[in-house]
Amino acid sequence: MGWPSECNYGVLNKYMARAVCQNPNGGKYQGIVICEGGQVGRVHRFGPWVSNGFSDAYCQGTEYAVTDGAGINSSPDPL
pLDDT band at residue 79 under the 50/70/90 scheme: low
Q: For residue 77, is pLDDT > 80?
A: no
| pLDDT value of position 23 | 95
| pTM (two decimals) | 0.90
Look up the domain containing 36 and give its range: 5-75
* Number of domain units in the chain: 1
pLDDT band at residue 38 under the 50/70/90 scheme: confident
Other Cβ atoms closer than 10 A to 53? 10
Q: For residue 78, is pLDDT > 70?
A: no
